[in-house]
């Protein structure tokens, strides 16, 4: 293998190692200005957008043990990697697509499994992680509060029963 190819494959491997997910996109209609705008948006999530050669991506993905990406390797390919919040990244990409009507999502890989563009769109529609956490904690505290109210009512009921019983005996 030529040194140039080895370098390209190593570069793609380094990109893929930046996160537990990778999103493949077709960037045919996207201008340089659009890519700059998308990269600025992705920077907020510490994610990156890279144009890669399909052959280099295929070899790098295989070397890292990722599933077969052949279904997403038709036409020009760019990858989105990095950051700890794939839902936030999917949100940014979806918003970019809705505004520009460009950049087609081919597929993604999350937790070593292939995911479809529709799945990524569903992830993008989820509320932000902090909101989900707040909703979950609210659910936990409301159930705990209800449980405490039930226990309190039982204790009061038992206490009322004890005070009523001696009075009835007298």
Looking up residue 19, the CATH number of its domain turns out to be 3.30.70.1730
Same domain as 81, residue 30: yes
Same domain as 145, residue 64: no
Host H or E run for residue 70: none
Same domain as 164, residue 116: no
Percentage of the chain beyond pLDDT 70 is: 94
**Mean pLDDT, rounded, for 20-47:** 88
Same domain as 111, residue 61: yes
Determine the pLDDT at residue 84: 81
Same domain as 21, residue 83: yes
Same domain as 116, residue 154: no
Residue 164's pLDDT band (cuts 50, 70, 90):
low
Is the pLDDT confidence value at 160 over 80? no
Same domain as 107, residue 146: no
Residue 166's pLDDT band (cuts 50, 70, 90):
low
Domain extent, residue 54, equals 3-126
CA nearest 13: which of 46, 50, 39? Answer: 50
Dist. CA 41–CA 92, nearest whole Å: 7
What token pair was written down for 25? Answer: 């996109």
**Which of 29-33, 56-60, 87-91, 163-167 is the least confident region?**
163-167
Quick check: 45 and 87 in contact, CB under 8 A?
no
Per the structure, the count of domains in the chain is 2
Same domain as 33, residue 83: yes
Dist. CA 77–CA 28, nearest whole Å: 9
Same domain as 142, residue 108: no
CA nearest 23: which of 96, 102, 107, 97? Answer: 107
Same domain as 138, residue 106: no
Determine the pLDDT at residue 120: 81
Same domain as 41, residue 108: yes
What token pair was written down for 26? Answer: 């077709």
CA nearest 58: which of 42, 70, 48, 76? Answer: 70
Determine the pLDDT at residue 163: 62
Digit-coded pLDDT (tens) for 107-143 = 888 888 888 888 888 878 877 778 888 888 888 787 7
Same domain as 155, residue 96: no
């Amino acid at each position: 293998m030529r040194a140039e190819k080895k370098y390209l494959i190593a570069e793609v491997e380094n990109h893929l190692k930046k996160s537990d997910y990778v999103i493949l996109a077709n960037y045919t209609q996207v201008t340089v200005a659009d890519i700059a705008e998308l990269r600025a948006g992705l920077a907020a999530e510490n994610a990156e957008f890279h144009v890669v050669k399909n052959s280099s991506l295929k070899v790098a993905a295989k070397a890292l043990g990722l599933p077969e990406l052949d279904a997403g390797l038709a036409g020009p390919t760019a990858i989105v990697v990095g950051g700890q919040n794939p839902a936030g990244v999917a949100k940014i990409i979806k918003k970019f697509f809705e505004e520009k009507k460009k950049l087609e999502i081919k597929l993604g890989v999350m937790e070593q499994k292939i995911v479809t563009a529709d799945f990524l769109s569903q992830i993008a529609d989820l509320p932000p992680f902090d909101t989900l956490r707040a909703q979950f904690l609210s659910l936990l505290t409301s159930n705990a509060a209800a449980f405490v109210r039930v226990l309190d009512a039982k204790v009061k009921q038992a206490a009322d029963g004890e005070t009523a019983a001696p009075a009835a005996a007298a």
